[in-house]
Amino acid sequence: MDSRVLRTRRDVLTAAMDELVEGGWDAVTHARVAGRAGYAKATLYAHWPDRLALVRDAFDQVGRMPHHEPTGDLRADLVGELVSFRTAMTEHRLDRALAVLAERAGPVPELVEVRRRFVEDGERPMRLLLAPVLSGARLEAATAMLCGAVVHATLLHGAPPTDEEVEAAVDLVLVGVTGA
Amino acid sequence: MDSRVLRTRRDVLTAAMDELVEGGWDAVTHARVAGRAGYAKATLYAHWPDRLALVRDAFDQVGRMPHHEPTGDLRADLVGELVSFRTAMTEHRLDRALAVLAERAGPVPELVEVRRRFVEDGERPMRLLLAPVLSGARLEAATAMLCGAVVHATLLHGAPPTDEEVEAAVDLVLVGVTGA
């Protein structure tokens, strides 16, 4: 793709994600996204025939959230990765993106696959940190507990975990790992 | 309230919650809920002036989800409580109710308080089980991790944790509690 096409794509998908996190699934209309990105509606329809196509590509573009750069110190790396996740939730509105995926994947089954790819991608660094010390159901459980502590606090309490809570979560798991 | 009023109230709020879990926030209209419950729209408007009033009372009615009856064996009680939570998620569509609260509390700030009450109520038994062995940030973290493991798997993976994963989560926390 030439740079003009790439720029259009980036502008449109950024606008689509902005509409999604601000207003939810129904806010992602071709008219609103086109207006926000500064392109003609016809341009959007040519590349993305429907809302689902726009949302799917918008999630693929977001794709790589900022993650913690591993240092080799497991405790520091787990804390760092959870803090990155928390930052993405609160400062990059990942909380809204995940909430929309969780809610709309019920009525819109095509979103199940979008959610699967996006969540798998986001979880990968956490899983890679834990894989040398845990496996099977314990690896699944620890990944779900650590990511889940941030998800639960942010999406259901409406407030992300404090630094102290993040460290307490990591320490509970690490004692569990080494003490079992 | 006489029994006829109570029955009307129960029927309407059950219908409102059914619409919510099936279609989401926008599906809760006075026309649809009245039709589903078998009452006149005017009856609904007389008691619940808007969608928020209907949804708020519907969540209050759901209120007490079935919980595990504590036995005094901490491990068995934590596993039992998580299994009850998982059952409520998958069989009583609590997954949908929580997803709608998580998503709509963004654009509809009045739902923040509804979410707070509902989640606090749902978490209470888990918190009571953990309170004798943990406090402060560690209690918060353990509650968020255990509830979060079910929330994360159900809402973001689209599949609740297996029995093995539930037990692994409880064991990781319990080793952390006793080994710290």
Identify whether residues A113 and A164 lie together within a single domain: yes
Q: Is the pLDDT of residue B180 over 70?
A: no
Percent composition of chain B: helix, strand, coil (DSSP 3-state, to 5): 75, 0, 25
Identify whether residues A134 and A168 lie together within a single domain: yes
Interface test mutation site (partner A, options B147, B156, B162, max chain A beta carbons within 10 A): B156
CA contacts within 13 A on the Cβ side of B21: 19
| Contact at CB, A24 and B107, closer than 8 angstroms | yes
Q: How far apart are CA A172 and CA B179, in angstroms?
A: 9
Identify whether residues B96 and B141 lie together within a single domain: yes
Of the candidates A26, A158, A180, the beta carbon closest to that of B115 is on A158
Of A11-15, B31-35, B172-176, which gets the smallest average pLDDT? Answer: B172-176
Q: Is the pLDDT of residue B149 over 70?
A: yes
Interface test mutation site (partner B, options A79, A123, A145, A154, max chain B beta carbons within 10 A): A145
Of A81-90, B7-16, B27-36, B59-68, which gets the smallest average pLDDT? Answer: B59-68
Closest CA to B149 of B135, B163, B136, B138: B163
Q: How far is CA B141 from CA A32, B1, B137, in A?
A: 40, 42, 6
Identify whether residues A24 and A110 lie together within a single domain: no
Q: Return the CATH number at A73.
A: 1.10.357.10
Cβ neighbours of A50 (radius 10 Å): 11
Identify whether residues B44 and B109 lie together within a single domain: no
- At B161 the pLDDT is 97
Q: Chain centroid to CA A35: how far?
A: 25
Handedness of CA B162, B173, B75, B135 (dihedral sign): negative
For A31-44, write each residue's pLDDT tens digit.
999 999 999 999 99
Closest CA to B79 of B177, B141, B167, B178: B167
Question: Complex ipTM, two decimals?
Answer: 0.94
| Contact at CB, B144 and A153, closer than 8 angstroms | yes
Q: Is the pLDDT of residue A25 over 80?
A: yes
Cα angle A55-A61-A62, degrees, rounded to a multiple of 5: 90
Domain count within chain B: 2
DSSP 3-state of A92:
coil
Average pLDDT over residues B131-155: 97
- Give the range of the structural domain holding residue A50, as residue numbers without chain letter: 3-61
Of the candidates B95, B99, B169, the beta carbon closest to that of A145 is on B169
